A = this chain, B = another copy of it.
Amino acid sequence: MAYTKANGNGRVFPVPAAVPGRFASEYSEVQTSRLHISLPLPSVLKNPFDVVDGPPSFTAGNPEEIAKLFPNLFGQPSAMLMPGDSSERLDKGLRIGVVLSGGQAPGGHNVISGIFDFLQRRTKGKSKLYGFRGGPIGIMKCKYVELTEDFIYPYRNQGGFDMICSGRDKIETPEQFKQAEETVRKLDLDGLVVIGGDDSNTNACLLAQNFRAKNMKTRVIGCPKTIDGDLKCKEVPASFGFDTACKLYAEMIGNVMKDARSTGKYYHFVRLMGRAASHITLECALETHPNIAIIGEEVAANKQTLKSVTGYITDIICKRSELGYNYGVILIPEGLIDFIPEVQQLIAELNEILAQDVVDKEGLWKKKLRRQSHELFEFLPEAIQEQLLLERDPHGNVQVAKIETENMLIQMVENELNERKQEYKYNGQFRGQSHFFGYEGRCGLPSNFDANYCYALGFAAGALLQSGKTGLISSVGNLAAPVEEWTVGGTALTSLMDVERRHGKFKPVIKKALVELEGAPFKKFASLRDDWALMNRYLSPGPVQFVGPTANMINQTLLLELGAQA
């Protein structure tokens, strides 16, 4: 269906021919059906509101250092939108810039749509919205596009970040901060919205501090984005994109489970995104009930070794074999080996040795490894050993990220099973099948939850900027309730911060929210996993639905966390 046919009300949006290929001139039926829908808003955003300050804020740690790093922002209160009338008083327009930072997450386009619609409704068309192209580099190099109704419309409720694209650059050096100042001065910006993860929001806070210290009028508001789900706190109960990505992965996992049970002869090892935290693996486990799910945070807390993780998996495979099941589904977070201290130690030693020595064929070099590392190296499958020795990054370092954890585990489990077979402890058939579900999830059509949540986040960012706030992260709460009852406000970014010591200096960081072993989602998982391991409680969530009775479900992690809070 042609794009211009998509707009049911007869209005034709021109395809910007000047940017060939940057966006599609054609839409699928489902994409088209999503373009049209009108999104629900929290009721506080539908009516006049006041922005009310809360009490002074704290920090996640090291308040003295945070106070030094953010002298103009430290301790500032969070803000909350309440029914009122002050918001209607503003008669001048706002000039706002927006940037997408880091990896894609479903819903990013709706944050921008939300900012745009807020400005349209609340500043009577007198405002301007600029989109910086290709991430923070667009700010530094002043590469931008004016975001008009015609420009934004084709991206409403669509996945991807292709409206203005994203990038992974950071604004770090004094020179780069200067470039950012020049850009916001040139565009005469009242506000800047940074849509990104923990690093990008830290960066947003540094920009806010910098602009304020220089008495510039530009305010900065962050928005919580990451499919990994590791940017959250009490006031920001979820990062957007997590819901859609998990639903997409869970659909695929559910299908693989059906396949496993139907054929009865494969163990599917599924690697899922999430390098620093295992929220995706945990959520997918809660949605699909796999036989095994490895949670990195638990592995770290229990100081598990690669051998013990392998042993845990192998034990379950043996027990299942006794029950007659020579198949199963196992979920693994891609960051698993980063959670295992002994692997980190081995990598460090390897980097040291490989930088100085030749790897002799006789293996004499291995004597330089400490005993534990040597044992671990010998425990690794041959292909992984080779990979560690041969594939190096430009700095000569071992490329840990390139290790396909699921294939490594399959090989280790297979070795272990063979040993047990020799000892007559196992008599089954094992065939491993590996999967990596990654890119497919980052750019899906946003679920209703992500579409609505992002739209509200965009409105909130607009409202905070309109009321002159800076250094806050857009915060929408009460998410288990109907959209009308959602709360809207902003949380002091400094309150999420701690410092890390790097190169002799304190650097501000928003701590990644890891899976809490005392949290409700993990506890639910832990209470059920032994049953899932041996019985087959597979759930098949099916494809994301946009209409009908199943269209508005939210993810288990959020439901359980909110339930535990209530």
Contacts and interface: CB of A to CB of B under 8 A. Distances in A.
Interface of A: 20-31, 33-34, 104, 158-162, 165-166, 248, 251-252, 254-259, 261-264, 268, 287, 289, 323, 325, 433, 435, 439-445, 535-550, 553
**A34, A443, A546: residue with the most chain B Cβ atoms closer than 10 Å:** A443
Nearest to A536: B21
Nearest to A324: B21
A433 B402 CA distance: 12
11 contacts: A21-B325, A22-B536, A24-B538, A27-B539, A29-B550, A30-B540, A34-B542, A248-B255, A255-B441, A435-B440, A545-B545
Contacts of A443: 255-259, 262
B439 A541 contact: no
Contacts of A289: 26
Contact of A442 (B255, B535, B544): B255
- The list of the 5 closest CB pairs from A to B, nearest first, reads A160-B258, A30-B542, A258-B443, A543-B543, A21-B536
Contacts of A256: 439-440, 443
Given A26-B537, A255-B159, A535-B21, A542 B166 contact: no
Given A259-B104, A262-B165, A262-B166, A31 B439 contact: no
Chain A interface, >50% SS class? loop
A158 B33 contact: no
Contact of A543 (B160, B251, B433): B251
Contact of A553 (B29, B549, B553): B29
A220 to B, nearest CB: 23
A158 B540 contact: yes
Contacts of A259: 104, 160, 439, 442-443
**A26, A254, A262, A289: residue with the most chain B Cβ atoms closer than 10 Å:** A262
Contact of A263 (B23, B26, B166, B262): B166
Contact of A24 (B323, B441, B539, B546): B539
Given A28-B254, A445-B543, 19 more contacts: A20-B535, A22-B261, A23-B261, A24-B539, A25-B537, A26-B539, A30-B542, A104-B258, A162-B258, A162-B261, A166-B263, A248-B543, A255-B439, A259-B439, A433-B439, A435-B439, A444-B542, A547-B547, A548-B548
A27 to B, nearest CB: 7
Nearest to A544: B543
Nearest to A29: B550
Contacts of A553: 29
A251 B159 CA distance: 12
Contacts of A26: 289, 537, 539
A442 B549 CA distance: 25
B439 A262 contact: no
B264 A165 contact: yes
Contact of A541 (B22, B30, B252, B433): B30
Contact of A160 (B252, B261, B435, B545): B261
A451 to B, nearest CB: 12
A38 to B, nearest CB: 15
A312 to B, nearest CB: 20
A498 B252 CA distance: 38
A162 B28 contact: no
A252 B443 CA distance: 9
A249 to B, nearest CB: 10
A542 B28 contact: yes
Contacts of A537: 24-26
A117 to B, nearest CB: 22
A415 B214 CA distance: 52
A499 to B, nearest CB: 31
Contacts of A325: 21
B255 A540 contact: no
A271 to B, nearest CB: 13
Nearest to A433: B439
Contacts of A541: 28-31
A255 B441 CA distance: 7
A435 B436 CA distance: 8
